[in-house]
């Protein structure tokens, strides 16, 4: 088995959400995950976004539809994006208003998301790489 690169249907997306909520101890959160186009994000140039309310433990996670991902240095992986965004809920109590701290938190969330997906599927971290040198040789 490999990580879910693209959610094939709504049920797979919901099942993955529920699985990772339990793994991350977010079972008491109410979370909806949506596949969206770039204009539906509040942030620019991102592949996922989490809008949450700490007090009532609820969140909406937006994941970029794969057809809008483009050619990036890391391959598209919907499951990795989902885990990263769920980690925002896990870290919600931390104050991330400071730009430097916010960047550090995002880097840690990305590292943890990749580590968890790698552990689940027993794969190496370089699975996420999307580097091709053949095109440089022509």
User: Structural domains in the chain?
Assistant: 10-124 (1.10.10)
pLDDT of res. 136: 59
Write out the E strands in 1-138: 30-36, 48-53, 58-64
Task: Tell me how crowded residue 34 is: count the other CB atoms within 10 A of its CB.
Answer: 12
Say how many residues make up the chain. Answer: 138
Q: Bigger pLDDT: 100 or 67?
A: 67
Residue 83: which pLDDT band, with cuts at 50, 70 and 90?
A: very high
Tell me what the mean pLDDT of segment 55-84 comes to.
95
Does the pLDDT value for residue 95 go beyond 70? Answer: no
Q: Is the pLDDT of residue 41 over 90?
A: yes
Does pTM surpass 0.85? no
pLDDT at position 101 is: 77
Run of H or E including 131: none
Average pLDDT over residues 32-36: 97
Please say whether the beta carbons of 74 and 130 come within 8 A.
yes
Helices (H) and strands (E) in the chain, counts: 3, 3
More confident residue, 12 or 128: 12
- Measured CA to CA, the distance from residue 72 to residue 130 in angstroms comes to 7
For the chain, what is the mean pLDDT? Answer: 90
């Amino acid at each position: 088995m490999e990580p879910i690169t693209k959610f094939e249907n709504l049920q797979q997306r919901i099942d993955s959400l529920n699985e990772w909520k339990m793994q991350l101890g977010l079972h008491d959160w109410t979370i909806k995950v949506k596949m969206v186009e770039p204009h539906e994000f509040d942030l620019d140039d991102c592949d996922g976004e989490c809008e949450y309310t700490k007090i009532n433990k609820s969140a909406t996670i937006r994941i970029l539809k794969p057809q809008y991902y483009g050619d990036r240095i890391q391959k598209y992986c919907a499951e990795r994006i989902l885990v990263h965004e769920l980690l925002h809920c896990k870290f919600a109590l931390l104050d991330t208003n400071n730009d430097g701290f916010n960047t550090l938190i995002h880097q840690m969330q990305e590292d943890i998301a990749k580590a968890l997906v790698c552990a689940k599927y027993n794969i190496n971290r370089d699975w996420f790489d999307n580097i091709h040198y053949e095109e440089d040789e022509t």
